[in-house]
């Protein structure tokens, strides 16, 4: 797709984009992506290749002093989102893990987990959502950790919809450790838990999308972890997570942007080839207009993603831009995939084409990490200055 985005924005990371494209072209051919999607299997080879190329760590350093540049992260995620989408979802989680470990990890945690994570040798899962609460999880959190006299903790509870837990090495688990005072987000602590720990049970859930990455329920039954498993400050865990939200929203937006682009490019290509009434269907006004609208939404979402990433990188206010980018990109992705299905008609339902996968995968970022409704609530309050609506 030709882009109307100013060259300086794109070219700034042209080399990085070219590198990701090169790895995807070699390791994640459309046939392989399709086969792994059908088999519901994670692409270990692709993850290894991304790790070896430094794309998990990017500019981050294992001592936590250097952080990955959000402008680099969104490029990697957009490119992966457009092809092996599940790997982009996996990296959204890894980037969050990197951020939390670099910001709050002890020396031992940085050495033992952050360093191999940056090299793509291990993976983490992030376990926040619970069966009784996604959007409102802090208020209803049932996963608890109780401190013992020797400083160790005992974890009990259940998390659900946890990406990659069946194949990751560690989970960052969000658990209540004290009463919700003065508000629901207080009294919550982060724990870095090996997924092989005694009492941890991981069960894969059956989902219709993101088939290249397992989605799991994780149960904790009397799981004993040492004092050193606490990540950051006890009781401040949810606030530590909230501080990563801009980055996570932005990275979700970049992945959704990639999905939008992948679906849109596939639709345009198909519309050039497929004939009806003696001409390509792309020459008919109805499909053409839909695809033009998609191109406009993608361009607008891309600009918001880049603008938000630039603001975040420069330490400027980025919360509103990240929230807007997430809304625009999730809308662009669902619309482009829906229009792609319309353009392809019967072929849209064929598993031989990627469109049905984009159509399924695009759903994720309408509600994760935060639902689009909640993002609108946030923008209503913070952007428009209206009374809080929830
Ligand atoms: C494939 C997949 C991967 C995931 N990966 C992870 C992961 O790795 N780690 C993790 O912790 N979680 C993960 N999640 C969970 C995800 O973050 C939650 O699904 C999301 O936060 C929404 O929570 P919910 O599904 O419980 O929706 P609910 O909270 O039940 O919301 C249902 C509906 O109510 C609306 N609603 C609720 N409250 C309000 C309000 N105040 N105003 C307006 N509307 C409202 C919502 O917008 C939504 O439309 C994943 C989910 C899936 C399906």
pLDDT tens figures, 332-385: 999 999 999 999 999 999 999 999 999 999 999 999 999 999 999 999 999 999
Structure tokens at 377: 């609530």
How many Å lie between the centroid of ligand 1 and the Cα of residue 369? 7
Identify the residues whose C-beta falls under 6 Å from ligand 1. 93, 126-129, 134-136, 161-163, 207, 210, 215, 364, 367-369, 371, 373-374, 377, 390
Q: Which residues contact 24 (CB under 8 A, 6 or more apart)?
A: 79, 80, 83, 84
For residues 331 and 257, give the distance between their C-alpha atoms in angstroms, rounded to a whole number: 9
How many Å lie between the centroid of ligand 1 and the Cα of residue 197? 27
Task: For residue 2, name the pLDDT band (cuts at 50, 70, 90).
Answer: very low
Q: What value does the mean pLDDT take over residues 224-236?
A: 97
Structure tokens at 120: 């793509």
Q: What value does the mean pLDDT take over residues 236-247?
A: 92
Is a pLDDT exceeding 70 seen at residue 1? no
How many Å lie between the centroid of ligand 1 and the Cα of residue 241? 16
| Radius of gyration in angstroms for the set of CA atoms belonging to the chain, rounded to a whole number | 21
Q: Which of 159, 147, 151, 90 is CA-nearest to residue 120?
A: 90
The answer to whether the CB of 266 falls within 8 A of the CB of 365 is: no
Q: Select from 158, 213, 371 the residue to mutate for testing ligand 1; criterion: most ligand atoms less than 8 Å from CB.
A: 371
How many Å lie between the centroid of ligand 1 and the Cα of residue 160? 10
Do you find a cis peptide bond into 369, omega within 30 degrees of 0? yes
E strands, 248-350, in order = 275-276, 279-280
Q: What value does the mean pLDDT take over residues 195-222?
A: 98
The answer to whether the CB of 245 falls within 8 A of the CB of 252 is: no
For residues 93 and 252, give the distance between their C-alpha atoms in angstroms, rounded to a whole number: 10
pTM confidence score: 0.96
Q: What value does the mean pLDDT take over residues 139-154?
A: 96
Mean pLDDT, the chain, whole residue set: 95
Which residue, judged by its Cα, is nearest atom 21 of ligand 1?
A: 134
For residues 177 and 141, give the distance between their C-alpha atoms in angstroms, rounded to a whole number: 10
How many Å lie between the centroid of ligand 1 and the Cα of residue 372? 10
How many Å lie between the centroid of ligand 1 and the Cα of residue 161? 9
Which residue, judged by its Cα, is nearest atom 38 of ligand 1?
A: 135
Domains and CATH numbers, the chain: 7-123 (1.10.540.10), 125-235 (2.40.110.10), 242-382 (1.20.140.10)
Q: Which residues contact 161 (CB under 8 A, 6 or more apart)?
A: 129, 134, 205, 215, 216, 217
Q: Select from 129, 132, 170 the residue to mutate for testing ligand 1; criterion: most ligand atoms less than 8 Å from CB.
A: 129
Q: Specify the pLDDT at position 225.
A: 98
For residues 80 and 60, give the distance between their C-alpha atoms in angstroms, rounded to a whole number: 20
Q: What value does the mean pLDDT take over residues 87-104?
A: 97
Choice between 244 and 354, residue whose per-residue pLDDT is larger:
354
Element (H, E) at 124: strand 124-127
Which residue, judged by its Cα, is nearest atom 7 of ligand 1?
A: 162
């Amino acid at each position: 797709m030709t882009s109307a985005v100013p060259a300086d924005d794109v070219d700034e990371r042209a080399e990085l984009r070219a590198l990701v494209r090169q790895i995807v072209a070699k390791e994640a051919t459309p046939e392989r992506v399709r086969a792994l999607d059908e088999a519901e299997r994670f692409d270990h080879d692709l993850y290894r290749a991304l790790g070896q190329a430094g794309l998990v760590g990017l500019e981050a350093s294992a001592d936590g002093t250097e952080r990955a540049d959000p402008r680099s992260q969104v490029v990697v995620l957009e490119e992966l989102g457009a092809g092996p989408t599940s790997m982009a979802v996996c990296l959204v989680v890894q980037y969050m893990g990197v951020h939390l470990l670099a910001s709050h990890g002890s020396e031992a945690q940085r050495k033992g987990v952050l360093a191999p994570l940056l090299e793509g040798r291990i993976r983490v899962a992030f376990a926040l959502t619970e069966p009784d609460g996604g959007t409102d999880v802090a208020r209803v959190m049932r996963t608890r950790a109780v401190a013992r006299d020797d400083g160790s903790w005992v974890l009990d509870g259940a998390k659900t919809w946890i990406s990659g837990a069946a194949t990751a090495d560690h989970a960052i688990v969000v658990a209540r450790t004290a009463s919700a005072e003065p508000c629901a987000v207080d009294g919550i602590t982060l724990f870095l838990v090996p997924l092989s720990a005694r009492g941890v049970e991981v069960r894969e859930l059956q989902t219709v999308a993101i088939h290249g990455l397992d989605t799991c329920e994780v149960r904790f039954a009397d799981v004993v972890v040492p004092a050193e498993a606490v990540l950051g400050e006890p009781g401040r865990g949810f606030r530590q997570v909230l501080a990563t939200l801009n980055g996570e929203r932005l990275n979700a937006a970049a992945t959704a942007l990639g999905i939008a682009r992948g679906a849109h490019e596939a639709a345009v290509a198909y519309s050039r080839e497929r004939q009806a009434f003696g001409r390509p269907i792309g020459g008919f006004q109805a499909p053409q207009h839909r695809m033009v609208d998609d191109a406009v939404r993608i361009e607008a979402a891309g600009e918001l993603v880049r603008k938000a990433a630039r603001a975040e990188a420069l330490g400027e206010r980025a919360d509103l831009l990240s929230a807007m980018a997430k809304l625009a990109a999730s809308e662009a992705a669902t619309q482009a995939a829906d229009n792609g299905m319309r353009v392809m008609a019967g072929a849209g339902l064929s598993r031989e084409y990627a469109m049905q996968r984009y159509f399924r995968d695009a759903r994720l970022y309408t509600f994760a990490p935060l639902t689009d409704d909640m993002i609108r609530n946030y923008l209503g309050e913070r952007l428009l200055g209206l009374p809080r609506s929830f």
